Amino acid sequence: MNSVLKGKNVLLGITGSIAAYKAAEIVRLLRKRGAAVFPIMTSSATHFVHPITFQTLASQKVTLKLFDKNNKQMGHLSLPRLADLLLIAPASANVIGKMASGIADEILTTIVLATEAPVVIAPAMDHGMYHSPILQRNISKLKAAGYRFIGPEKGDLASGEVGMGRMREPSKIVEYLEKLFQSRDDFLGKTFLVTAGPTRERLDTVRFFSNYSSGKMGYALAEEGGWRGAKIILVSGPSSLTPPGGVEFYQVESAQEMYDTVMDKFPQVDGVLMAAAVSDYRPARHWQNKIKKESREKLVVELVQNPDILKELGEKKANKILVGFCAETKDLEKEARKKLMTKDLDLVVANDITLEGAGFEVDTNVVTLIDGEGKKEALSKRSKREVAQKVWDKIKWLMEARKITREMT
């Protein structure tokens, strides 16, 4: 069978769930597609399926312990290095909780922390556990960190009840992995510039005007774009976040500095994702020393407009893809469509920052995507990394549609 999984090294984590028996079918399907499978079992998983089952199907030694005197190589170091992907199926609530907390007290969770490969999680548990607020918080935390989830789904559970918590079927999981590997080539040979975070406009030596942007949305876009094959130039305002590995990174402070850097890099790129919250105004005057309150009863600050980076990019873009972001407190769609037209955008990502779980500083977002043809897609609340995946999906669609249009003309 010709598959993108051929020649790939897949680490398969199996945890303590009755669905562990389904992992055997996952091994079979992966092997059929030419992947090498390295099973890793928690101690709880061995109560459901014997390790010999996975060793026979995978033709690989099953990793069971963090410390194995019979293994000359340290599994928690050697396995992460060879992995193209780590799949945890089934993933119990216990292991999900450990991963979300950074606990590495056994071999599987240690490998999760050590690997730089994509991690895909297929939860399986009773519906009561799945709907627990604690578990949902842990899942949200992992999604925000870039971990991908498939399932669960609603169906018959081991308890005899019907509800949400049933592990996605092995064939669907393997299909998902194939699509995931295919997407890694989506933007090969393409370069995109992503802006992120706030800007700061100095008032004096200790004070500035800024906003609440954390940079989380922009950094998620940069990481997802890089994972899908693009060369990413990330231009960020002040942020406590660590830049994703592999990006070309530029730290700026003011809107003018961001303008200068973006315009300098713009000729090199195939598109721009302008996720930064750029200050519209800056103080007309910058005090060279700290302003002392004793010296005046009232301080009047005159503000002047900063350069409109997005508008100028729209005027220069030619065949480049241009994505803008629109954070509003009212008239969201009206304002988004206005920005789309006046700044000649290909896509606008709009969010109402008054909604719970949307906007600045949080790990989630609630957005509406509107493209240049006016087509709208409203996304429910999800992690910013998941929003980033949707935005890049849309960019891929826009680029393919543009290519088809050129070929037809």
Domain that holds residue 143: 9-183
Checking if the pLDDT of 99 tops 90, the result is yes
- Known active-site residue 211: yes
> Of 9, 70, 211, 306, which is the active-site residue?
211
Same domain, 165 and 200: no
Residues 71-96 have a mean pLDDT of 83
Do 246 and 167 reside in the same domain of the chain?
Answer: no
DSSP 8-state secondary structure symbol assigned to residue 242? P
pLDDT at residue 65, as a whole number: 83
DSSP state of 359: S
User: Mean pLDDT in the chain?
Assistant: 91
- Report yes or no on 326 lying in a domain: yes
Judge whether residue 54 has pLDDT over 90. Answer: yes
Q: What is the pLDDT averaged over residues 10-17? A: 97
Q: What is the pLDDT of residues 114-152, one digit of tens each?
A: 998 999 999 999 999 999 999 999 998 998 888 999 989
One domain for residues 238 and 365: yes
On whether residue 330 sits in a domain, the answer given is yes
At which of 183, 203, 228 does a domain end? 183
Residues 110 and 241 in one domain: no
Does residue 1 lie within any of the structural domains? no
Residue keyed to tokens 């220069």: 316
From its phi and psi, is residue 389 left (phi > 0), alpha (psi between -120 and 50) or beta?
alpha
Mark which of 166, 183, 200 sits at the end of a domain: 183
Determine the Cα–Cα distance for residues 323 and 331; give it in Å rounded to an integer.
20
Residues 167 and 50 occupy one common structural domain? yes
Query: Would you place residue 394 in the very low, low, confident or very high pLDDT band (cuts 50, 70, 90)?
Result: very high
Q: Which CATH number fits the domain that encloses residue 19?
A: 3.40.50.1950
pLDDT at residue 73 is higher than 70: no
Is position 101 within any domain?
Answer: yes
Alpha carbons 5 and 139: distance in angstroms, whole number: 26
Whether residue 395 sits in one domain with residue 313:
yes
C-alpha separations of 238 from 201, 232, 252, 327, 374 in Å: 11, 18, 7, 19, 33
User: Same domain, yes or no, for 50 and 179?
Assistant: yes
Does 179 lie in the same domain as 30?
yes
Q: By the 8 A CB rule, do 271 and 256 touch?
A: no
Q: pLDDT band at residue 299, thresholds of 50, 70 and 90?
A: confident
pLDDT over 70 for what percent of the chain? 95
* Residue 393 resides in a domain: yes
> Per-residue pLDDT tens for 274-294?
999 999 999 998 888 888 877
The answer to whether residues 169 and 247 belong to one domain is no
pLDDT at position 407, please?
58
- For the beta sheet containing 9-14, the strands, ordered from the edge strand earlier in sequence to the opposite edge, are 36-41, 9-14, 85-91, 119-123, 148-149
Q: Is residue 3 part of a domain?
A: no
Q: How far is CA 314 from the centre of its chain?
A: 26
Contacts of 95 (CB under 8 A, 6+ apart): 13, 15, 42, 88, 108, 109
Residues 177 and 227 in one domain: no
348-360: b (≥16 Cβ within 10 Å) or e:
bbbbbeeeeebbb
With respect to residue 251, please indicate whether it lies within any of the assigned structural domains: yes
Does the pLDDT value for residue 75 go beyond 60? no
Which among 148, 183, 218 is the end of a domain? Answer: 183
Report which secondary-structure segment, H or E, holds 335: helix 332-342
Dump pLDDT digits (tens) for 179-223.
Answer: 999 888 899 999 999 999 999 999 988 899 999 999 999 999 999
- What's the domain count of the chain? 2
CATH of the domain at 273: 3.40.50.10300
Considering the domain boundaries, does residue 2 fall inside one? no
Is residue 164 domain-shared with residue 226, that is, in the same domain?
A: no
What is the C-alpha separation between 228 and 189, in angstroms, rounded?
11
In this structure, are 211 and 142 located in the same domain? no
